[in-house]
Structure 1
Amino acid sequence: MIQSMTGFGKSLIQLPSKKITVEIKSLNSKSLDLNARVPSQYREKELLLRNLIGSSLTRGKVDFSLYVEITAEETTATINAAVVKQYIKQMKEIVDGDETELLKMAVRMPDALKTEREEIDEKEFASIELAVNRALEEINRFRADEGKALEKELNLRISNIETLLAEIITMDPDRINGVRERLRKGVADLKENVDENRFEQELIFYIEKFDITEEKVRLDNHLAYFKDTLNSVDSNGRKLAFISQEMGREINTIGSKSNYAPMQQLVVQMKDELEKIKEQLLNVL
């Protein structure tokens, strides 16, 4: 079962004095690219949160945001009275102003407020971890649902290539007969007597250069392998991408060897289907 790298998850936890909101969103990326926005008071726990998210999502461009909203009368900042008084005293020496106005100015000065570092409450952080895990569950459900749509699209494109390959296999004898007749006509137009045995040997050699039997077999095997991988338990976008590259090599070789317009038209259609597969695989986990 494949999964998409696109997803979104959100979770809210209400504590007695705080509301914790966790948001996780992801887009496609070759590897895990995690951007975390964490309030400064939880910075020492950021690595732990990163490991938690990375072990669950493994790939994708991931944005993780942790928001903390104070819902009760609680603050860690206090006025540094001695500093504020000193500011007011200095300003009075410069200008004779209203003390209320001077106070407004003083509290905006550096060090007018002092913030005591708040230690992380382990019970509170356990609630944050719970919120992160819930958001991860939601984003993984989102990815799985998107993966079902991707799987349906990929199966359709593979089925289309299989149908086109069957048409190529059906018309291949006519192509070879066409090559044989063109060669015979070319020799006849020369109005020269030729050794029939030697001509047959050269004809066989020439036709072998245009033989696509191996390419047809290998492409059929790649298509079957792609479907098996697509239906496996684990999502493996990289493996599917490698298989699609091998499919592309066989399709290109068939096109270059065919030397037959109707078959080349089918090859063009196969290439178009394969490009659509590659576009979708960019978003497969």
Structure 2
Amino acid sequence: MTAFAHQHTEFSWGSATWELRSVNHRYLELSFKLPDSWRLLEPKLRDALRQQLQRGKVECALRIKLRENDQELAVNHALVSQLINASRSLETQLSEHNPINVLDLLRWPGVIQATELDSETLSANLMDSFAEALAEHIRGRHREGESLSELINQRLDQISEIVATVRQRMPDIVQQQRDKLLQRIAELKVELDSNRLEQEIALIAQKADIDEELDRLNTHVEEVRRVLKKGGACGRRLDFLMQELNREANTLSSKSVVADNTQAAVELKVLIEQMREQIQNIE
């Protein structure tokens, strides 16, 4: 969601500069810094941003610089005619004739006017340049997303390696637990019924069984890869998958009967947290 775009465009009437900044946010929050005379564009800008973006705190700023040569002066002839008629109607009341001074007329408020530019043309030009700025902003988001996807896939590879290692060790771990139980029984010099002994061994194996958790970890890893490959707005989906991965890592830790599995669970949680932090940057 973090990106920046700067778009400067020259027109016949002047120039427009757009700046788009976005940072992480749970939802889409938009703010605008527009010249007072162009705040009428805000609804169109909001619609354009909402169609392209789903999450992020986005700031949109516009600076406009008009060419001075394009603002030619024009005379308000209608107002001048009214002033002349008013002046002549007062001549009969004046003690002496006072000719009308042209400069005095030009100084009158509203007589000299700056020609206004076509607002529709300016609006169209500004929206076109904004579209270019938004496209650049989205390209920046995509570039960041590709980098984040690579980092997340690296962590997923590490998670898969840890899961494979733990799964490979499980038969030996179960056998070690069985041997420990037999050794303790031998030390206590207690004779147990063979059926009872097998039941105890089966119970230990059941408590230590984490095949289901390992399978779910692999399933969630593959789902994360699929979501990343699919692209689009996937941040919320990835947030959910991180919660599921973390839940399985916690279960793996609670079922651990050896220090190696406990350490593996800790490493998984570290990797999941690293991914979760990166996913906060993904729309």
| C-alpha distance in structure 2 between counterparts of 1:262 and 1:31, whole Å | 41
Q: Does the 8 Å contact 1:28/1:282 carry over to 2?
A: yes
| C-alpha distance in structure 2 between counterparts of 1:120 and 1:209, whole Å | 78
| C-alpha distance in structure 2 between counterparts of 1:18 and 1:119, whole Å | 11
- Label 1:128 to 1:206 Cα distance change in 2 as closer, same or farther (>3 A): same
Deviation at 1:120, TM superposition (A): 7.2
Q: Does the 8 Å contact 1:155/1:227 carry over to 2?
A: yes
| C-alpha distance in structure 1 between counterparts of 2:161 and 2:215, whole Å | 14
Q: Does the 8 Å contact 2:177/2:204 carry over to 1?
A: no
Q: Does the 8 Å contact 2:210/2:252 carry over to 1?
A: yes
Within 5 A, what are the aligned runs for 1:54-65?
A: 54-65=50-61
| C-alpha distance in structure 2 between counterparts of 1:136 and 1:276, whole Å | 30
TM-score between the two structures when normalised by the length of structure 2: 0.80
| C-alpha distance in structure 2 between counterparts of 1:75 and 1:188, whole Å | 108
The count of aligned residue pairs is 242
- SS in structure 2 at match of 1:65: strand
Q: What corresponds to 2:4 in structure 1? A: 8
| C-alpha distance in structure 1 between counterparts of 2:248 and 2:32, whole Å | 43
Deviation at 1:75, TM superposition (A): 10
- SS in structure 1 at match of 2:230: coil
Within 5 A, what are the aligned runs for 1:192-231?
A: 192-231=190-229
Q: What corresponds to 1:96 in structure 2? A: none
Q: 1:132 aligns with which of 124, 130, 150?
A: 130
Deviation at 1:137, TM superposition (A): 0.7
1:168 equivalenced with 2:166 (yes/no): yes
Q: Does the 8 Å contact 2:18/2:62 carry over to 1?
A: yes
TM-score between the two structures when normalised by the length of structure 1: 0.79
- SS in structure 1 at match of 2:21: strand
- SS in structure 2 at match of 1:34: strand
Q: 1:50 aligns with which of 35, 46, 51?
A: 46
Q: How big is each residue's C-alpha offset from its partner over 1:140-190, in whole Å with a ceiling of 9 and x where there is no partner?
A: 111111111111111100001101111101111111111112222222222
- SS in structure 1 at match of 2:282: coil
Deviation at 1:17, TM superposition (A): 3.4
Within 5 A, what are the aligned runs for 1:255-274?
A: 255-274=253-272
Deviation at 1:233, TM superposition (A): 4.0
Q: How big is each residue's C-alpha offset from its partner over 1:199-256, in whole Å with a ceiling of 9 and x where there is no partner?
A: 2112212321221011111111111111111111424111112112111111111111
- Label 1:120 to 1:24 Cα distance change in 2 as closer, same or farther (>3 A): farther
Tell me which structure has the larger Cα radius of gyration.
2
> What is the root-mean-square deviation in Å for CA atoms of aligned residues?
2.1
- SS in structure 1 at match of 2:252: helix
Q: What corresponds to 1:23 in structure 2? A: 19
Q: Which runs of 4+ in 1 moved over 6 A?
A: none
Q: What corresponds to 1:107 in structure 2? A: none
| C-alpha distance in structure 1 between counterparts of 2:67 and 2:172, whole Å | 79
Q: Which amino acid aligns with 2:157?
A: S
- SS in structure 2 at match of 1:258: coil
Q: 1:67 aligns with which of 63, 72, 77?
A: 63
Q: Which amino acid aligns with 1:124?
A: L
| C-alpha distance in structure 1 between counterparts of 2:258 and 2:144, whole Å | 40
1:279 equivalenced with 2:281 (yes/no): no
Alignment identity in percent? 32
Q: Does the 8 Å contact 1:13/1:127 carry over to 2?
A: no
Instruction: Specify every segment of 5 or more residues in structure 2 that has no aligned partner in the other structure, as ranges.
Output: 74-112
- SS in structure 2 at match of 1:193: coil
Q: 2:181 aligns with which of 176, 179, 183?
A: 183
**9-18 or 237-246: bigger deviation:** 9-18
| C-alpha distance in structure 2 between counterparts of 1:187 and 1:34, whole Å | 70
Instruction: Specify every segment of 5 or more residues in structure 1 that has no aligned partner in the other structure, as ranges.
Output: 77-114
| C-alpha distance in structure 1 between counterparts of 2:235 and 2:54, whole Å | 12
- Label 1:71 to 1:173 Cα distance change in 2 as closer, same or farther (>3 A): same
The structure whose RCO (Cα within 8 Å, separation 6+) is larger is 1
- SS in structure 1 at match of 2:237: helix
- Label 1:180 to 1:120 Cα distance change in 2 as closer, same or farther (>3 A): farther
